Amino acid sequence: MSTVNKWNSGINDRGLKEQICEIGRRVYNKGFAAANDGNISIRVGENEVLCSPTMICKGFMTPDDICAVDMQGNQIAGKRKRTSEILLHLEIMRNREDVKAVVHCHPPHATAFAVAREPIPQCILPEIEVFMGEVPIAPYETPGGSKFAETVTPFLKGTNTIILTNHGTVSFGKTVEEAYWKTEILDAYCKILLLSQQLGRVSYLNERESVELLDLKKKLGFDDPRFHVENCDLCSNSAFREGYKGNQPQPKAFEPPPQYAGYLERQTSGGSSAGKAEPDTETLVKLITEQVLAAMKK
């Protein structure tokens, strides 16, 4: 499938409509959107956006099904009615001029984290550290309205992939294919995390290994919010803490590695040692075991 990296001013471009249909087929065939779930959009001009319509299976769309809206969400073309969740797409495009395409769907493994309200752990897979980084979790709002669309706004400057609490995911990029790849990468990572946990544990990269990956990311020209946030622990999901406004999801199923636990302690104690919660027995056993094994290796 060909992709475009520049704006196309026509809302009648059949090639761009076919791109939406092709991504719809991929989303449906991967099991990321059951029945009529999900929606896809491409910005084609200063005030024109092509999008999938409401109440249609994304695996069986044709170019004639695709409709168009302006940047305020008013439908300007198409025989079918536009999706109500286009407001989410437009909110992203208005805040990110580099974004030309958005994909929203419900990939099952990533959506499991959305339903559990469990932060996506970091410092585990090198590819995720370099090509994705921290994935924030937007707070819940009823899908379809402007309040729902605005839940992602505080996180848009630092990522191209966001978890939607109790709902799904939204990913975005310069092309619709690039936006889709972000979704596929995230769901594959979440599947690996869940399988690893079934085996008994997740092994984290150490601080040196994490710093090396961030250095590589910088050399490749990729940005990362951890480059710009003061006192940001590398693996503690703290780069977007200001966006959460005091409602930052806390890990329950995937505890952060011991060397990064200090951030969570500072968050719960207000920066002082007074009132710190004592670590539970399981955490202490894990920490002591890891220290003993490290000493034996030496």
Residues 257 and 184 in one domain: no
80 in a domain, yes or no? Answer: yes
271 in a domain, yes or no? Answer: yes
Length of the chain measured in residues: 298
CA 230 – CA 238 distance, rounded (Å): 10
**Is 242 among the catalytic positions?**
no
Give the up-direction half-sphere exposure of residue 4: CA atoms within 13 A in the CB hemisphere.
18
Q: What is the pTM of this model?
A: 0.84
Residues 192 and 212 in one domain: no
Return per-residue pLDDT of the chain as tens, 298 residues.
Answer: 544 445 545 799 999 999 999 999 999 999 999 999 999 999 999 999 999 999 999 999 999 999 999 999 999 999 999 999 999 999 999 999 999 999 999 999 999 999 999 999 999 999 999 999 999 999 999 999 999 999 999 999 989 999 999 999 999 999 999 999 999 999 999 999 999 999 988 999 988 999 899 999 999 999 888 888 777 778 888 889 889 987 889 999 998 776 554 444 444 444 433 333 344 555 556 666 666 666 666 5
278 in a domain, yes or no? Answer: yes
Residues 33 and 149 in one domain: yes
List of residues 6+ apart from 179 with CB closer than 8 A: 23, 101, 102, 103, 160, 171, 172, 173
241 in a domain, yes or no? Answer: yes
4 in a domain, yes or no? Answer: no
Give me the catalytic one of 85, 91, 129, 177. Answer: 85
Task: Say how many domains are in the chain.
Answer: 2
Domain that holds residue 288: 207-297
